[in-house]
Structure 1
Amino acid sequence: MQTAEIHRRWLDFFEKRGHTVVPSASLVSDDPSLMFTVAGMVPFVPYLSGLVPAPYPRATSVQKCIRTNDIEEVGKTPRHGTFFQMCGNFSFGDYFKEEAIRFAWELLTTSEDDGGLGFDPKDLWVTVYEDDDEALALWKRHSTLPDERIQRLGKDTNYWSTGQPGPAGPCSEIFYDLGPDAGVDGGPATDDDRYVEIWNLVFMQYQITDVASKTDFTIVGELPNKNIDTGMGLERVAFIKQGVQNMYEIDQVRPVLDRAAELAGKTYGANHEDDVRLRVIADHVRSGLMLIADGVTPSNEGRGYILRRLLRRVILSMRLLGVDGPTFPELFPVSRDAMQAAYPEVAREFEFISRAAYAEEKTFLRTLASGIQILDAAVSGARGAGGEVAGDTAFLLHDTHGFPIELTLEIAEEAGVSVDRSVFATLMQEQRDRAKADAKAKKGQRADLSVYTELRGLGETLFTGYDELNHESRVLGIVVDGAPVREAREGEVAEIVLAETSLWAESGGQDSDQGVIVGDGFEAEVLDVQKPVPGLIVHTAKVVVGTVGLDARAETRVDPDYRRGATQAHSGTHVVHAALREVLGANAHQAGSYNKAGYLRLDFTHGEALSAATRSEIEEISNLAIRSDYDVVTREMPLDEAKALGAMALFGEKYGDRVRVVDIGGPWSRELCAGTHVESSAEIGMISLVSESSVGSTNRRLESLVGIEAFRNFAAERAIVQQLTSGLKVPRAELVTKVQDLGAQLRTAEKRIAALEAEKLAQRVPELLAGAEELGEVRAVLGSLGGVGSADDVRGLALQLRDRLGAEAGVVVLAGDAGGKPVVIAATTAAARDRGVRAGDLAKLGAQVLGGGGGGKPDLAQGGGTDPAKIDEALAEIRRSLAA
């Protein structure tokens, strides 16, 4: 049974039993505490926790998920995957244990011909929480399982909670028995791999507090509404139904594995290490495909970093299999074809997906080449230094160049040297500790969202700011330091929740409004406006006069100048986006934006920098659209109707069933957007593009000033031009030529000065050679040069002196003051290196005295520091080292 067919049967089964079919949410989670959607329940947490009223009594979904906490285990076990799909059915205060157990047994054991999954009951086992007599009785009533195949287990395996005070409850898990050849008898209680967990039924029925650990907490009572949250692992069911050994061999994954094996000339199943690498490739390519399809692009932080890490692990695994060149153009189309039956968007958006993936591979292959050079130098040095690559070098390769330690070890082993694993492990642990501490600190900065549960239960906050700047409302809630209070006094910063508000909450790329909240005897300055949970608008405000109390009448007043600037910038973003696509074509997708009064930032998909002419063209088209005074029309309509009109849904964004469509000039710019906008394009005033830069291998960023800020920028640049034309005494039309001429003259003068300084230094060769010393086993030339032009000058002189030393065991160490920064250069002859003297060690030693760092190759190295006054001391330390 194909994976997409299991997917379809799941949704059909529960839809026929009154469940609302909910499409999979994006892999990019709305939960601010999560980077990705890590479980099928994540999109339903606000309903399960009571934070937001559920829009339906029961629901079902097949949710896309990403987990990377066990990334190192991928490929090594039959069950670890970064991307997986979780089939779920949910009840929000509707049905409970009996129906959940009955539904599960019915779907699993109904024959395939009758629409079920066709499992033989003799292959199934069930576990229940040890004290859950009710669940045990219900399994006996609704299944044909003998008593010995229903096992009671403890809290560590069969009790669910978030790890925080709140909802919790026992759970019941369903396992498939792979048979006696796969492991020991005894059922899931043995914790043997023979028994594969395929479905978990969570019975959310209690409120817990005093949570000390997963098994140590206090149950304070039953929830007013008992909920059901179940999850069936789609990949696990698929590999069982398809008769294969693991999730990497199912129909959605195996084609990529086979193509990778073909490219590498390998046979899957012939070698364990190769098999692990092939499984990593198959898993990570699919994960990369699905992440990019949901709008994530490779970068150096956050979600983009996780994606980059996955893609680079694929490249490195292919390299370890013997393939050095690009492989993504071969692998990603195979994954697309395997996934598109379940997720048609991967085919629809494949041009964007492939461009992002292929560019990342191209970039990393270049990075890999430079890393190999570093490793080759380290291996070469290790051959003469005890046969060991330094642990900090291995860590540098891992941390900066993306080399896994396995690749470093393999290359080192082929060269006959080892790697200092202990230092590497220490540095890795220090990095993990820093990351853990940072994550803990950030987690501590986030408020407990449960504080908003009761407030959200009062209904959605109505935003009235599309039509008015001031609005009379009522205070529904006040939160200070994460706790609800009845009032906030003068000087306090509080979160204030109102029934309605005219203040825009930050979303859709538009920053929050500035303004005040005023009432009888109080005034609060609004510092920020956010939506911590869907449907709830929270104003962070400082009370500057009086006391704000619950149920008080309160009026929101938006700063009109700020709102005017914000609407100019947001409408300007749409205009620039339309101009960008007009110039670059439809493949230039918006990939993110931010706008506030006077400023806009637009990220877009494009693989190369824009020329000055292209930037000028985009700016001109944008300002022509402003001059054309296009009508800006906003309409609300169903999402399908908006798409039929050609409204652009921004890639990776999430939309509800009803959307707001913003037209500027009719279809010229037609986008889905909930932000605030001007009424005609002329109100934008002016667009001034001030910056274009890279934000990744496939993304570019345009920054622009808008309205009065754009005018002020032009005025400032005009003043600079006037100062230059006056000071240089040339007309404006000749200013560029004049500056270019001055630059050429300056460069010529600098070259002449450099040549004179080099000649002056070269004249010191006889003097320095005459002062050579016999130190230990080498003849050493050590000299302080005083003021020098640059490190290059010192290096050139050191090489001349080394050449004059010829075949003897010679060492040259020169130091100078390059513009207030000390520099030390060390050079050695081959005979000196044969005696164990290395330039890198000498440069490092001198740099330490100078208050800096240094190093390099055994034949030539450089160091620097902060204190030129210590140059003589540094040379003396090097002299002592050579003489020892």
Structure 2
Amino acid sequence: MQTAEIRRRWLDYFGERGHTVVPSASLVSDDPTLLFTVAGMVPFIPYLTGLVPAPYPRATSVQKCIRTLDIEEVGKTPRHGTFFQMNGNFSFGDYFKKEAIEFAWELLTGSEQDGFYGFSPDDLWVTIYEDDDDAFRFWKDTAGLPDERIQRLGMDTNYWSTGLPGPAGPCSEIFFDRGPAYGVDGGPATDDDRYVEIWNLVFMQYLRGEGRGKNDFEILGELPRKNIDTGMGLERVAFLKQGVENMYEIDQVRPVLDRAAELSGKRYGADHDDDVRMRVIADHVRSSLMLMADGVTPSNEGRGYILRRLLRRSVRAMRLLGVDTATFPELFPASRDAMKAAYPEVDTDYARIGRLAYGEEETFLKTLESGTSILDVAVEKVRTSGGKKLEGDVAFQLHDTFGFPIDLTMEMAEEAGLTVDRSAFETLMAQQRNRAKADARAKKTLLADLSVYSDFRAKGETVFTGYEFLETDGTVLGIIVGGESVQRARVGDIADVILTETSLYAESGGQEADAGRIVGEGFELEVLDVQRPVKGLVSHKVEVTKGEVGVGDAATSIVDAAWRRGATQAHSATHIIHAALREVLGPQAHQAGSYNKAGYMRLDFNWNQALSPATRTEIEELSNNAIRNNLEVETKVMPLTEAKALGAMALFGEKYGETVRVVEIGGPWSRELCAGTHVSRSSEIGLINVVSEASVGSSNRRIESLVGMDAFRDLATERAIVSRLSTELKTPREQLPERIAGLMASLKEAEKKIAAYQSAALGERIPGLADAAVRRGGLTSVIENLGTVASADDVRTLSLGVRGRLGNEPAIVAFFADVAEKPIVIVATNDGARALGVRAGSMVSIAAGVLGGGGGGKDDIAQGGGTSVAAIPEAADALRAALPA
């Protein structure tokens, strides 16, 4: 049974039983505590927890998920996958435990001919929470399983909660027994790979209180509305139904594995280590494909870093298979073709995805060359010192800074006859993970604070009127101060105020929140920020500047008209520049993020090379022509499917409901899904002045522009500068570039002559400095402060000249100087001095330490520096004191 067929049967089964079929949400999660959608229930959390009223009593979905906590286990077990699909059915206060068990058993064990999955009941085991007698009874009544195949397990495995106060409850898991060839007998309680978990049923029936972790907490009572959250692993069922050994061999994954085998000349199944590498490649390529299809781009932080890590692990695995050249142009199309039946967007958007993937691979292959050079230096240093082990901090630096995989470091060190201090490396990695966990805990606490909004959201949604009005009358629905819901806020308080209606735009879609005020009888609030903490609710962060405000008070939201005008200009300018980019560069120049506020906008777009001055000018002219042509800006509200059919562009990573707002500028020329505020005609933008275009990653560029009066003021400033230059240089404006180029050339020539005169003058000092040499204990020394010198090269030349002047007698020359307001020291020794144990590198270390810096070099000449010119006399004394008596 193909994976797509398993998916279809699931949705058909539950759809026919009254469940609303909900499309998969993006892999990019709305939850601020999560980088990705990590489970099928994540999009439904607001409904399951009661934070937002559920729009339907029961639902079903096949949700795309990404988990990276077990990334090191990928390829080693039959079930660990980074990207996976979770089939889920959900009840929001509708049916409960009995019906959930009946649904699961019927779909699993019903015949394939009748549209079910056809598992034999003899192969299935069930676990329940140790005290859940209801579940035990329902399983007996529904499935007729013998008692020994319904195992009671503890809270660690069969009790669900978020780890925070809120919904909780027992769960029941269904396992498939692969048979004695795969492990020991005894059921899921043995925790053996023989038993594969395929379905988990969570019965949310209790309210848990505060506690420590997953096991230690108090049950406060039953929930008023009990919920069902179940999940069946699509890939796990697929590998069982397709009769293969693991999830990497199913129809949606195996083609990449086979292509990796062909490219490497290895045979899958011949060597355990190579098999693991091929499975890693198959998993990571598919996971990367799906992440990029949802708008994630490689970067050095957040989601982009996870994607980059997956891509680089794939490159590393191919290298360990013996392939050093680019392979993504072969591997990614294989994954695309395997996944496009279920997710057509991976095919329709493949030009962008492929360009991102291929560019990242090319960059990392160059990084591997750089990392290899650094590793070679470190290895040589260890070998020179007689050591046998590469320090853990070197391995960690290669991993953390260059993305150099530890396995690759260990492999290359072993080739050089060295080991790697893996223990020290793991310690540093653990410290990094702890820092990340601490950050995640802080974010989790932030999510917990969102529970304060649940009572407000239960009363309805905030109505946004700002598209039509700058002022709106409403009522204060709630007030939050210091994370606590309160009845009143007074002068000086910083509070979050929720209104029933507001004209103030909440930050979203790249547009900054509106500036403005909220006023009422006896109070005035300055609006500091506007956000949507939960779906359907607008919260205004305010400072109470007059009187006091209370829950239930009438309140009028007032938008700063000048700010809104600038914001609409900037947001519409963003759409215009996006359309101009695509017209000039082609449709692959797709928006990857934006930010706009009054007078300013920036837009990130998928492109991997700098724009030429001519191209940048063309984009700017095209944008301003669109303004001059006074194009109509029209907004329409329509179903998402209709908007997509119309060709409206969506921003990758943004979430859209079933009904969307489409903004058109000049009809189809610019047609995008957008909830922001816009001008009514393009001429209202006034002017677009592109001020910069630069890289923000290996495959993304950023274009920035000033808009409206800010654009005019910037151009006026440039005009004033040009006018002043023209006057002072007595040169017409159009001839300024040639005039300035001539002046620069003359200046460089003068600087060369001055440098030559200075060098000659320094050379004339050699005899005098040599004559000032001090002879003590068989060693001649010249230690002097030269004062201000143009360059370190001049100091080096002078030191070598004086050393040569001193002849063959043991001698050391040490010159200090002020170069560009920074102290430097250069020490030169001859053969006689080195025979006495006086080495330049050691002397520089002593002097540089006093100067507040460091340095090094060879035994005959070395250079150092520091931070304090004033410390030069003290450093010279320290060096003299270090010479042999």
Task: Map residues 66-77 of structure 1 onto 2, 5 A cutoff.
Answer: 66-77=66-77
Cα distance in 2 for residues equivalent to 1:839 and 1:663 = 71
Task: Map residues 310-459 of structure 1 onto 2, 5 A cutoff.
Answer: 310-387=310-387, 388-444=389-445, 448-459=449-460
**Equivalent residue letter for 2:326:** P
Cα distance in 2 for residues equivalent to 1:394 and 1:807 = 45
**Equivalent residue letter for 1:149:** R
**1:773-799 deviation line (CA, Å, top 9, x unaligned):** 999999999776543323444566678
TM (norm. structure 1) is: 0.93
Deviation at 1:156, TM superposition (A): 1.0
**Equivalent residue letter for 2:201:** L
Give the aligned partner of residue 286 of structure 2.
Answer: 286
Deviation at 1:243, TM superposition (A): 2.3
Deviation at 1:423, TM superposition (A): 4.5
Cα distance in 2 for residues equivalent to 1:401 and 1:456 = 46
Give the aligned partner of residue 675 of structure 2.
Answer: 674
Cα distance in 2 for residues equivalent to 1:156 and 1:35 = 25
Q: Structure 1 pair 177/809, CA: closer, same or farther in 2 (3 Å)?
A: farther
Give the aligned partner of residue 135 of structure 1.
Answer: 135
Cα distance in 2 for residues equivalent to 1:831 and 1:433 = 55
Q: Structure 1 pair 757/69, CA: closer, same or farther in 2 (3 Å)?
A: farther
Task: Map residues 45-84 of structure 1 onto 2, 5 A cutoff.
Answer: 45-84=45-84
Deviation at 1:147, TM superposition (A): 0.8
Give the aligned partner of residue 22 of structure 2.
Answer: 22
Aligned length: 884
Give the aligned partner of residue 660 of structure 2.
Answer: 659
Give the aligned partner of residue 505 of structure 2.
Answer: 504
Q: Is the 8 A contact 1:695 1:701 kept in 2?
A: yes
Give the aligned partner of residue 31 of structure 2.
Answer: 31
Task: Map residues 484-883 of structure 1 onto 2, 5 A cutoff.
Answer: 484-759=485-760, 785-794=786-795, 815-824=816-825, 846-854=847-855, 863-871=864-872, 874=875
**Equivalent residue letter for 2:202:** V
**Equivalent residue letter for 1:621:** L
Deviation at 1:435, TM superposition (A): 3.4
**1:105-151 deviation line (CA, Å, top 9, x unaligned):** 11111122222222121111111011110000000011132110101
**1:288-338 deviation line (CA, Å, top 9, x unaligned):** 111110000011221111111111121222223322221111111111112
Q: Is the 8 A contact 2:164 2:448 kept in 1?
A: no
Q: Structure 1 pair 461/761, CA: closer, same or farther in 2 (3 Å)?
A: same
Cα distance in 2 for residues equivalent to 1:218 and 1:577 = 54
Q: Structure 1 pair 89/444, CA: closer, same or farther in 2 (3 Å)?
A: closer
Paired residue secondary structure (1:40): coil
Structure 1, 864-873 or 692-701: larger mean CA deviation? 864-873
Cα distance in 2 for residues equivalent to 1:367 and 1:273 = 25
**1:638-662 deviation line (CA, Å, top 9, x unaligned):** 2222223332223333222221121
Structure 1, 717-726 or 17-26: larger mean CA deviation? 717-726
Q: Is the 8 A contact 2:33 2:443 kept in 1?
A: no
Cα distance in 2 for residues equivalent to 1:209 and 1:500 = 34
Q: Structure 1 pair 200/815, CA: closer, same or farther in 2 (3 Å)?
A: farther
Structure 1, 241-250 or 17-26: larger mean CA deviation? 241-250
**Equivalent residue letter for 1:518:** V
Q: Structure 1 pair 484/741, CA: closer, same or farther in 2 (3 Å)?
A: same
Q: Structure 1 pair 118/475, CA: closer, same or farther in 2 (3 Å)?
A: same
Deviation at 1:806, TM superposition (A): 13
Q: Is the 8 A contact 1:633 1:664 kept in 2?
A: yes
Q: Is the 8 A contact 1:777 1:835 kept in 2?
A: no
Give the aligned partner of residue 164 of structure 2.
Answer: 164
Give the aligned partner of residue 263 of structure 1.
Answer: 263
Give the aligned partner of residue 196 of structure 2.
Answer: 196
Paired residue secondary structure (2:663): strand
Give the aligned partner of residue 474 of structure 2.
Answer: 473
Give the aligned partner of residue 119 of structure 1.
Answer: 119
Deviation at 1:475, TM superposition (A): 1.1
Paired residue secondary structure (1:507): coil
Give the aligned partner of residue 215 of structure 1.
Answer: 215
Q: Structure 1 pair 842/238, CA: closer, same or farther in 2 (3 Å)?
A: farther
Cα distance in 2 for residues equivalent to 1:807 and 1:372 = 43
Deviation at 1:800, TM superposition (A): 8.1
**Equivalent residue letter for 1:676:** T
Deviation at 1:712, TM superposition (A): 1.1
Q: Structure 1 pair 816/379, CA: closer, same or farther in 2 (3 Å)?
A: farther
Q: Is the 8 A contact 2:527 2:543 kept in 1?
A: yes
**Equivalent residue letter for 1:725:** S
Q: Structure 1 pair 444/757, CA: closer, same or farther in 2 (3 Å)?
A: farther
**Equivalent residue letter for 2:551:** L
TM (norm. structure 2) is: 0.93
Cα distance in 2 for residues equivalent to 1:73 and 1:776 = 67
Q: Structure 1 pair 351/812, CA: closer, same or farther in 2 (3 Å)?
A: farther
Cα distance in 1 for residues equivalent to 2:371 and 2:509 = 40
**Equivalent residue letter for 2:715:** F
Structure 1, 37-46 or 773-782: larger mean CA deviation? 773-782
**Equivalent residue letter for 1:86:** M
**Equivalent residue letter for 2:648:** A
Q: Is the 8 A contact 2:33 2:440 kept in 1?
A: no
Structure 1, 703-712 or 838-847: larger mean CA deviation? 838-847
Paired residue secondary structure (2:353): helix
Structure 1, 260-269 or 178-187: larger mean CA deviation? 260-269
Q: Is the 8 A contact 1:92 1:227 kept in 2?
A: yes
Structure 1, 381-390 or 21-30: larger mean CA deviation? 381-390
Paired residue secondary structure (1:547): strand
Q: Structure 1 pair 216/738, CA: closer, same or farther in 2 (3 Å)?
A: same
Q: Is the 8 A contact 2:470 2:561 kept in 1?
A: yes
Cα distance in 2 for residues equivalent to 1:217 and 1:750 = 76
Cα distance in 2 for residues equivalent to 1:397 and 1:835 = 40
Q: Structure 1 pair 239/877, CA: closer, same or farther in 2 (3 Å)?
A: farther
Paired residue secondary structure (2:85): strand
Paired residue secondary structure (1:595): strand
Q: Is the 8 A contact 1:845 1:878 kept in 2?
A: yes
Cα distance in 2 for residues equivalent to 1:287 and 1:859 = 56
Q: Is the 8 A contact 2:27 2:64 kept in 1?
A: yes
Cα distance in 1 for residues equivalent to 2:805 and 2:380 = 26
Q: Structure 1 pair 779/295, CA: closer, same or farther in 2 (3 Å)?
A: farther
Cα distance in 1 for residues equivalent to 2:358 and 2:232 = 34
Paired residue secondary structure (2:404): coil
Deviation at 1:349, TM superposition (A): 0.7
Deviation at 1:817, TM superposition (A): 2.5
Cα distance in 1 for residues equivalent to 2:397 and 2:831 = 28
Unaligned runs of 5+ in 2: none
Cα distance in 1 for residues equivalent to 2:834 and 2:364 = 35
Q: Structure 1 pair 206/616, CA: closer, same or farther in 2 (3 Å)?
A: same
Structure 1, 821-830 or 667-676: larger mean CA deviation? 821-830
Q: Is the 8 A contact 1:381 1:858 kept in 2?
A: no
Q: CA RMSD in A?
A: 3.1
Q: Structure 1 pair 585/861, CA: closer, same or farther in 2 (3 Å)?
A: farther
Deviation at 1:542, TM superposition (A): 1.0
**Equivalent residue letter for 1:610:** L
Q: Structure 1 pair 826/690, CA: closer, same or farther in 2 (3 Å)?
A: same
Paired residue secondary structure (1:240): helix
**1:264-292 deviation line (CA, Å, top 9, x unaligned):** 23233333333332222221111111111
**1:657-681 deviation line (CA, Å, top 9, x unaligned):** 2211212122222222111111111
Deviation at 1:507, TM superposition (A): 0.9
Work out whether 1:460 is the aligned partner of 2:461.
yes
**Equivalent residue letter for 1:214:** K
**Equivalent residue letter for 2:406:** I
Structure 1, 608-617 or 825-834: larger mean CA deviation? 825-834
